[in-house]
């Protein structure tokens, strides 16, 4: 897989990060190294092997459909946001 500055810019855009040129450049180098290292795995023949969803072989972990009082209430959660208005989270215009 080829990694270049465009890859990093694309990923940054998808994640809504703004990166300086310098950061873009250094991240490109980092990601190249990481991909290179992971690419070792390409040498393995994985035909017909299912993707790993669970490493501990757990399955069917679910709970009952009963409401439990939450540890954090509305005000506490809203207090974590940058800005609130009328009990809602205020964000820059998105449409």
* Residues in touch with other proteins (CB under 8 A): 10, 14-16, 51-54, 56, 58-68, 70-72, 74, 77-78, 80, 85-95
Q: Specify whether the CB–CB gap between 8 and 28 falls below 8 A.
A: yes
Which one, 25 or 79, has the nearer CB to other proteins? 79
For residue 14, the minimal CB distance to other proteins (Å) is: 6
Q: What backbone torsions phi and psi does residue 84 show, to the nearest 5 degrees?
A: -125, 155
Name residue 51's beta-bridge partners: none
For residue 54, the minimal CB distance to other proteins (Å) is: 5
For residue 59, the minimal CB distance to other proteins (Å) is: 5
In degrees, rounded to 5, the angle at the alpha carbon of residue 70 between the alpha carbons of residues 56 and 90 is 105
């Amino acid at each position: 897989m080829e990694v270049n500055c465009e890859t990093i810019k694309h990923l940054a855009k998808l994640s809504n990060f703004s990166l300086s040129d310098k950061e873009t450049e250094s991240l490109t180098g980092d990601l190249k190294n990481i991909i290179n290292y992971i690419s070792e795995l390409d040498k393995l023949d994985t035909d017909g092997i299912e993707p790993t969803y669970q490493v501990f072989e757990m399955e069917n972990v679910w709970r009952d459909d009963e409401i439990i009082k939450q540890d954090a209430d509305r005000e506490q959660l809203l207090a974590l946001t940058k800005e609130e208005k009328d009990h809602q989270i205020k964000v820059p215009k998105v449409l």
